[in-house]
Amino acid sequence: MTARPGPHDLASGTIVGGYRVNRLLGVGGMGVVYRATQLSLQRDVALKVLASRLAADDDSRLRFLQEGQLAARVSHPHLVHVLDVGESHQGMFIAFELVEGETLKQRIDREGALVAPFAIEVVVTCADVLSTLHESGILHRDLKPANIFIPTSSSRRTAAPSSLIWASPGTSWAPRSRRRRGCSSGRPATWLRS
């Protein structure tokens, strides 16, 4: 997900279902992610809003809703928590725990190849989270460095047994003919947290 300003941007200060938009964080295939403040609790969150070009498409709306519901039902110390799913006059939204840092792709682009111990930790953590997702009936279809997040130490979750934590699942659904019965396929945006 990249931060590409454009006509889809909500202005800073816009209220979306109890969240005040602060700034654009990134643009993905199904939505736009903002740093926002949850007004009721005065805490910062990542707020994903369904892309306006998809707002009138019933299938896209259903997939977006299911993304939030699936993400909320999976619990793992390396998954960012879903805080809320809803709809306002600004569109459908999913609020996630906010994690600050950089993507694995950004790290590799800046520093080159990963050192072996860190690379092993990334692979082991990803495998553990994938296992949990699969046990929950979710297939990950977009695991790549741009979808893995390495948080700054200031955003560390102390309860995590490892230094890496994934973030919010985002979903892109496969055609029904390509799914196993009772198993949803999606592509959780994966983040790592140190």
Tokens of 40: 């009721």
Q: Of 2, 21, 1, nearest to 10 (Cα)?
A: 21
Is the Cβ–Cβ distance between 98 and 44 less than 8 Å? yes
Query: Is 58 annotated as catalytic?
Result: no
What does the pLDDT look like over 73-103, one tens digit per residue?
A: 888 887 778 899 999 998 999 999 888 888 8
Q: What is the pLDDT of residue 157?
A: 47
Query: Is residue 60 in a domain?
Result: no
- Give residue 7's pLDDT: 52
Does 22 fall in a domain? no
CB 173 within 8 A of CB 63: yes
In the chain, the percentage of residues whose pLDDT exceeds 70 is 74
Q: Is residue 164 part of a domain?
A: yes
Question: Position 117: which residue type?
Answer: P
CATH (domain of 169): 1.10.510.10
Question: Tell me, what's the pLDDT at 113?
Answer: 92
Calculate mean pLDDT across residues 167-185.
Answer: 40
Is 76 inside any structural domain?
no
Structural domain contains residue 10: no
Q: Which domain holds residue 180?
A: 101-186
Give yes or no for a contact between 43 and 82, defined as CB atoms under 8 angstroms apart: no
Residue 46 domain flag: no
Angstrom distances, CA of residue 24 to CA of 56, 118, 190? 23, 30, 19
Q: Has residue 114 been placed in a domain? A: yes
Closest CA to 16 of 82, 92, 69: 92
Angstrom distance (rounded) from CA 32 to CA 4 = 9
Q: Is 137 a member of any domain?
A: yes
Give the total number of structural domains in the chain.
1
Place of tokens 């994934």: 166
